[in-house]
Amino acid sequence: MFCRFCGCEVPEKSAFCLCCGKKIDRPDSPKRGVANEPVKPIVITGANKKKAAERTMGTLKSIGGTMFGIAIFVGIIVAGILLFILGAGLAVAIAPFIIWIVGILFVLDLVLLLFAIMPRARGIAGLILYISSYVFGLSAWLYGLAVTLALWGWAAVIVGFFIVGVGVVPIGMLSAILNGHWDMFWTILIASALALGTRLLGGILAEESDV
C-alpha cells in the first residue's frame, strides 16, 4: 500500500511511513477505545420498580387533579342549572341517577379488584379506581347539595360553599338525619366512603404494580 500523505510505498506491516513518518491507518487495524465487550443486561431491581411506581403515582395525581378540576367545574354548572330549574325538588329528581351511577361504578370496581390479583394488571386497575373515586366524590357532592337545599334551604347551601366548597356534604347528611330521611343520609355516606376508599386503594395498587 502507499502513504496517503506523501505517496511513498509502505511495507505491509509498517505502522508509519518511512518517507514522511506519518502514521498509517490500516483498514484491518483495531480501533482504540472499541472493544468487543459483552453487553450487560439491564436488570430490573427493586429500586427501578420503586421509581416506576413513583412515576405511576405522579401520573395518577396529575390525572386525578385534572379530573377533580373538571368534575368541580362541570358539577357547579350542572348543579346551578338544576337548582334554578328544579329548586327544592332537586333531591327527588337526581336521587335515582346518583344511586344508579354509584351502584354501577361500584360493581365495575369490584370486577377490577378481581383483575388486580394479577401483578401486571394492578397499574391499570389502580388508575381506574383512582379516577372512579372522583366520580363517587362528585356524586356525593351533588347529592349533598341537593339534600341541603331541599331540607334546609339556600342559607345552608351558602354556608356549605364557604366550608371549602364541600361543606354541603356533611350539612346534607346532618339535615337528612334531623329530618328523618335516612335513605338520603346513607346515599351520601356510601358515596363519600367509596370516594375515599377507591382513591386510597387505587394509590396502593399503583405503587404495587409489577412494571
Region 97-119: mean pLDDT is: 87
Q: What is the pLDDT of residue 186?
A: 93
Q: State what percent of residues in the chain have pLDDT above 90.
A: 16
pTM for the full predicted model = 0.59
When pLDDT is cut at 50, 70 and 90, the band that residue 35 belongs to is very low
* CA separation for the pair 139, 137 (Å, rounded): 5
pLDDT at 112: 86
28 vs 16: which has the higher pLDDT:
16
Closest among 24, 21, 19 to 4, alpha carbons compared: 24
Helix (H, G, I), strand (E, B) or coil at 2: strand
CA distances from 54 to 59, 141, 164 (A): 9, 30, 29
In eight-state DSSP terms, residue 88 is: G
Check pLDDT > 60 for residue 37. Answer: no
- Region 90-114: what's the mean pLDDT? 82
**Phi, psi (deg, nearest 5) at residue 2:** -120, 150
Q: Assign 45 to helix, strand or coil.
A: coil
Separation CA 98–CA 75 (nearest Å):
13
- Tell me the average pLDDT across 69-83: 67
pLDDT band at 211 (very low <50, low <70, confident <90, very high): very low
Decide if pLDDT at 170 tops 70.
Answer: yes
Across 57-78, average pLDDT: 68
Distance (Å, whole) CA 190 – CA 14: 88
pLDDT score for 41: 53
Q: What was the pLDDT predicted at 153?
A: 83
Per-residue pLDDT tens over the stretch 115-145? 888 888 888 888 888 889 988 988 898 888 8
Half-sphere exposure of residue 146, counting CA atoms within 13 Å on the CB side?
Answer: 27
Instruction: Return the residue matching grid coordinates 365495575.
Output: 108
What is the pLDDT at residue 138? 84
Q: Is the dihedral of CA 66, 68, 73, 75 positive or negative?
A: positive
Q: Is the pLDDT of residue 147 over 80?
A: yes
46 — pLDDT class (breaks 50, 70, 90) = low
